[in-house]
Amino acid sequence: MKLWLITHSEELKKSSGTGKLVKEALQQDCEIIEWSRVDPHPAILALNKQDTLLIYPIDQTQKQSSHSLYTPIKHLIILDGTWQQARKIYNRSPYLHDFTHHEIQNSQSTYSKRRNQKQTGLCTAEVAIHLLTEYQHPATSKLQQAYTNFNQ
């Protein structure tokens, strides 16, 4: 399984960003791609829509495309940025709309470096930890420990 972080350019500049923790824990199983509104990354465009999940809230029109985490998948896409940045990335990237969506529900953030803009919003590392736990990925505990240390 590979995680793809589509990262807002401003997020790359922040010391409080947790995407780098995900990359460090997963190494080659994670790619950080800087989002471009006008130039979608070819690797994302080449992903098979049948075995790729986009982790993003599901609106009413997408209910039919929601996905169970227990179905085999090869790729997970996480939008890495504030909630406002993630919404911008999603809304301005029509190619992302074709991926099956999965929404993480009923989770509360423990992230303390920034105030979450959304009450149920999770930081990038928390999203990755949730997914890695669900898929029993061997790097889960490494990422959990790195996140715990970072968040103190």
pLDDT tens figures, 63-93: 444 555 556 789 999 999 988 899 999 999 9
Identify which of 148, 84, 141 has the alpha carbon closest to the alpha carbon of residue 111. 148
Supply 137's token pair. 């990925």
pLDDT > 70? residue 115: no
Give the pLDDT band (50/70/90) at residue 124.
very high
pTM of the complete model? 0.89
Q: In what order do the strands lie in the sheet with 2-7?
A: 30-34, 2-7, 75-80, 52-55, 100-102
Instruction: Look at residue 117 in the predicted model and tell me its pLDDT.
Output: 53
